[in-house]
Structure 1
């Protein structure tokens, strides 16, 4: 018989099941408490019941767990200090979508060497998430591969769907079943309607093929996720954080019968990927927040221990500690200054 299947598959490598990984690296009581409380707080912010400003802050991507933990420890201090006005979530991104080729993230290629030791990447990612949540600091992450949430979603308080995948039916279905609030970014060309359509879709029930905790292939039936919102991140035609774009996006959400909750990404198209411009974006956001009925509920900052970025060498050799290997970030001192300014200009406080 002529062979017609797996003609381009080089290898089939067994992978640990989600249940096995959870037994190996269990969710602690402290981590579970952090996730549950922060998800409730974020949901209240999105629904307008809690007027704290949501701040999603951290590296463009995680490649060094040691540096990530140091960043988390520093961010936890500010989270506690500013908790009455800000809800701070650490950006802990393990997967990176690529326009063509490039490093795909710690979870997929933890060795930064093209070995794609995904089993090791899953273990590093889950252990790091447990450690961060054990500090009492919530974690947010982009969900890219639809299988991965079974391994780490119980440790994520907020998730995003990226600009390249917002239009994907697979990601809309996945978001409809996720247990945390989910933000959809506008498309890379700046199209906001695509993200609004995604929010409407994800709010409704879906049925799709996935895996269970034992790794078995199953049909997942979801209830729909009503805690989805819009992220404005700019596009190839320019920024969209200004008052006009924000109000237009809010109007489109209202017309779609959605509560207009909007987070502004201070990086990407809104800063032209120039990290120092994130401060200018945030200042504009804070001014808009002072206006009545502002739909802005939060912001995102790409930040690391040290500013800038570096090209990843094979195997991670010679990398500078605490410096991004993907998009350029602002450093810690600038991060602390921006969070302080956000705190000072967010006047509604909670106990």
Structure 2
């Protein structure tokens, strides 16, 4: 009796296994027909057959069943975008589940083409989901979706672009820097905005060295881009890197020839570098654009006054200083700096009356 029972169990198991093999064969044939014709009805048949074959724990551990199931469900994740068929779980999740069960290296190597197909389909499905989440402002969910797509696609550079922007938006600064660098270093035609975004992130982390490097790379690719060039100008000016500033300031001026601030930056940079004659040239250029500019008159007055103090034989420098400083005082009568400069000037000219007037005015301004 015991032997008969064992035989019956064996027969049932064999029949079950045989039936499972038939269902796998049917699923494979239907999927092959879909692959050739793109007839969705064949894909639906393949789904039904693989679902029927995938019933027990034994079935779910069977490599061939998982591989075929992964191929079918990863295809459904893209082909059935509106989810017209009925699913216990979303086909994207089912495909990921089956892919995770393909854990035998020997078999994976033998079926590398099929596995790559599954990964590509799943990566595209995650990308579609990510784009939908992004459009609906579900940024955290979109970020996770893009991560899945990136891990399955083997490094789709467009996905890295989206990950860079989302990481920045979500405040993941280190990750944003990583993805922006990956995108910029990909060799693709990267827009100028990405160089600027990465530079801003480096600046936020006080990494000015890398900030300048990426701005230079961007400026080399986009030499007429104002944002990249002016960002460098402002960085060098704020950091008092006048040697670097004078190398690019004329490029900035060429892009905005009427920008008074650029001429002033240039003049001040050359003044700090001890090149007074070049400084004077840029300050004077401001007055051709805006004749009553206070900063230019004051800067030129100081330049000439300092030139005279270094060499008191230069009488023309003292006269020029008087003219520029007087003009600056008329434009801004309560400027303490101009009044103090005029005190020094009149002490050197020996004009006692004007000296008393200026000192009296200075005292009034300070007291008020």
TM-score bin (small chain): under 0.3
Q: Which has the larger radius of gyration?
A: 2
Between Structure 1 and Structure 2, the one with more helix by share is 2
Higher relative CO (Cα under 8 Å, sequence separation at least 6) belongs to 1
Between Structure 1 and Structure 2, the one with more strand by share is 1
Give the alignment's TM-score, normalised by structure 1: 0.22
